[in-house]
Structure 1
Amino acid sequence: MKRLFDVLMAGSALIALAPVMAGVAVAVRLTSQGPAIYWSDRVGRDNRLFRMPKFRSMRIDTPPVATHLLADTRSWLTPIGGFLRKSSLDELPQLWSILVGDMSIVGPRPALFNQDDLIALRTEHGVHRLRPGLTGWAQVNGRDEIPIPDKVVLDLAYLHQQTLLLDLRILWMTIDKVIHAKDISH
């Protein structure tokens, strides 16, 4: 049931948001060097690596590390990167990852391939069995502002409590957070 929900939601969103996505792609290309889409190596279900697309919000020479590990994140942003991140428009290409089955609408956010601490904690607690999500319980309860151990506790709670109703609640909370730009770092 969850996979059917994911495919229907992602497919509908891709169709409805196609003009917005085309506009963002053009804006990225016009305001910075490099491709509009950045393919990030991420850890998926059962710790399998996959390539996750995002609209590029960082310069092409940015090191492949979690944003919070950069000394001065703002200095790495493209001219429209801050806006893309704050509005979460940079995440829209991940709808493709949902369609092909690498991700779900709701689940733990996929770790970067080199986030060994997060990957180890998720594996230790069985969270790695979940398909990663576009949004998740940790994102609506602090997003970028909470430490990794606390994120894993929230991911584990989702693992044990996941239902379609909870997914809909998380989706609604995500929309509210994006509209009000809450808990988003640049």
Structure 2
Amino acid sequence: METTRNVADCYFQIGGRNYNFDPGSLRLGTPPHARSLHITDDWALLRLSEPAVGIPPQPVPDAPSLPTGVGELPVIMVSPGGHENYRGPSSIETCFIRQIDPPSEDEIRRVRHDCNDGYGGSGSGLFDATGRMLAMQSASLSMNSRRSFDIEFHYGSALLFEGELLSAIRQEVGALASPPSSPVSR
């Protein structure tokens, strides 16, 4: 894989404030030997260099018990930093998950949705009616074309929190919650 931009040069905006990343915490989720992942199946985890001020953290998601296949599940997409199809600072949109694809090599299912997402919306959360975060926006096919939803050619793509992604999140949260071990003195 080729580095296109160093994460030390990037930031994440939360609550109107920019937060730097801890570059040493980068964990790429797509294994280099992967052979059948969809272009939108890649993911990465990064820790912020400091905790977000005044913003409670999201709980660790549970793997959703949603069936694979075609259907209509109402969701709310929250884009804290906005995106190309919405010029405001953040957006909240009611939309539908239209299909859940079978799991990829990482044992993560991809959902196809009709949310109006554009460039800059990657990482947005898809929530159910109870406020439970189900999936993370990864990309949209034909981004910014503003055409009607099409299950094959024009849809938003999000990853459900399951498989290797959920395992990595749980491992990271567990590492942060565990106090560092100290040497045993005798």
Point out the structure with the larger strand share. Answer: 2
Which of the pair has the greater relative contact order for Cα pairs under 8 Å at 6+ separation? 1
Common fold by TM > 0.5: no
- Which protein has the bigger helix share? 1
TM-score by length of 1: 0.28
Based on CA coordinates, which of the two structures has the bigger radius of gyration?
Answer: 2
TM-score normalised by the chain length of structure 2: 0.28
